[in-house]
Amino acid sequence: MSNIEESEHHSFEEDLKFLIKTLKESFESTDVQYFVDDHNDVLYVKLEGLGDYPDEEIEEIVNPIFEVLDLDFEEIILLPL
C-alpha cells in the first residue's frame, strides 16, 4: 500500500470512528456496533436505544451529521441494538 493509500485509509477510519461516536452521543446510546459491507458500500450501525425515537426524529438528527461527514457509502443503515 502506498503512502497516499495508507493516508486515505487512515483518514477514512478516523471519519468512520467520528461518525460512530457522534451517532452514539446523538442518540444517547450506551452501546453501539457497526459493520462495513465493502462489497455493497453499505454501513450498518446498531445503536442501543434507537427504537425509542420516532423515524422523523431520527431523520432530523442524522441528516445534518451525514451532510457534514459525507462518507463514501451507498447507504448507511441504522438499526436498534
Query: Is the pLDDT assigned to residue 2 strictly greater than 70?
Result: no
Domain that holds residue 32: 3-80
Query: Is the pLDDT assigned to residue 3 strictly greater than 70?
Result: no
CATH number (domain holding residue 52): 3.30.70.2210
Q: What is the pTM of this model?
A: 0.86
Mean pLDDT of 35-41: 93
Tens digits of residue pLDDT in 7-26: 777 888 888 999 999 999 99
Cβ contacts of residue 13 below 8 Å, gap of 6+? none
Amino acid 66: pLDDT: 87
Distance CA 6, CA 81 (A): 32
Count of domains forming the chain: 1
Mean pLDDT of 35-54: 95
